[in-house]
Amino acid sequence: MKIVFLVSSMHAGGAERVAATLASAWAQRGEEVTLVPTYTGRGTCLYPLAPQVELLWLADRYGGPRALAGVRKLAALRSLLRERRPDVIVSFLTNVNVVALLSSRGLGIPIIVCERTNPAASDSAGTLLRVLRRYTYPWADMVTVQAQASLEPFARMVPGMRRLEQVPNPMPGELFDARLAACVPGADGRRRLAAMGRLVPAKQFDLLIAAFAGLAERHAGWDLVIWGEGPMRAQLQRQVDQAGLAGRVSLPGRTAEPWRELAQCHAFALTSRVEGFPNALLEAMALGLPCLAVDCPSGPREMTRNGEDGLLVPLGDAAALAAGLDRMLGDAALRSRLAAAGAVSVRRRYSLEAVLARWDQLIGTVRGARIEGVV
């Protein structure tokens, strides 16, 4: 089977990591996979890919002045699709999805477009993009979201879609071989609370730092480390410095080895106000870290099985966040129970094998519908 897989870039990010995982898994089992980042600035590929994956930068196929760059991108992608004639197109992220649908219109190639946040709660798509999404998504053979909680609200937002399905993110296959977190103090006798993501307002790392600052004296053996990069770095660093926590809270930047870093920690916190399906939480749970998550739309409630496998705290409640952290940092028995339950649960439900089987089902559905002339 020939798959053209479209994604915005291959820089750091959850969608990019999932794209690398899926593309590599498909290619390693014998599918012909072309991974196409559509970002105008090209960039670099942060995540490892199987050698069988063809990485093709769309920016290499068009150039010239910035004027009419969007039109040239559409033309370049349409030309590429005509050349490759894939059996299916898979596209990640709203802006890429719209470009993919416009470029492939009338070519007769089945296309699955995938939202990578909770589209009903996220403000990442501007007004024009939301209008284009509403106009073009009914052309897709299938639209997917990452969490069950996103299905109903998104169906109301974008009426007329042919098929709307849910498929979660997979755990990378290599994660099963990664060392589980020891959850015992390091050589220096200290424990680390981890967080991970882009340093942007939606991740609410400022609230996490504030909550930790209020607990730092009470939990003197704990430090906080937040991996990621983004426009809020300077603001967050000032907050740390002003709280007098420069030796207790660190912002080390991006990491290409998130599992290795997480495995050296002792607990994990997710404080986002909106998610699609947070990879960092999934991976922390799989590595055996006790996790606390804000009950944001969407993902954490499903992933923790309504709070059975991780602590859930209400969205928008700073006091509840601080109380939840206080409880987790101070209760070793609770941490041990959450670590064990979470690792078993997510490894069973979100294994690469299980998610690939779900993708096979969805791709088979859209290809079968095309063959039968249903769409």
Query: What residue ranges define each of the domains in the chain, with the CATH number in brackets?
Result: 2-170+352-371 (3.40.50.2000), 174-349 (3.40.50.2000)
- The predicted pLDDT at position 293 comes to 98
pLDDT digit string, tens, across residues 225-260: 999 999 999 999 999 999 999 999 999 999 877 888
Query: 348 exposed, middle or buried (CB, 10 Å; 0-12, 13-18, 19+)?
Result: exposed
E strand map for the chain: 2-7, 32-37, 54-55, 88-92, 111-114, 142-145, 164-166, 191-196, 222-227, 249-253, 267-270, 291-294, 311-313
166 bridge partner residues: 145
Alpha helices in 137-177 (DSSP H): 148-157
What are φ and ψ of residue 125, in 5° steps?
A: -95, 125
Span 299-326, average pLDDT = 96
The residue assigned the tokens 């509840």 is 320
- The predicted pLDDT at position 79 comes to 96
Output the average pLDDT for the chain.
Answer: 90
pLDDT band at 373 (very low <50, low <70, confident <90, very high): low
- The predicted pLDDT at position 256 comes to 77
Q: Is 249 strand, coil or helix?
A: strand
How close are the terminal C-alpha atoms of the chain, in Å? 20
pLDDT digit string, tens, across residues 163-206: 999 999 888 777 776 667 767 677 678 999 999 999 999 999 99
Sheet of 32-37, strands arranged across? 54-55, 32-37, 2-7, 88-92, 111-114, 142-145, 164-166
By mean pLDDT, which of 104-108, 151-155, 207-211 is the weakest? Answer: 151-155
- The predicted pLDDT at position 67 comes to 52
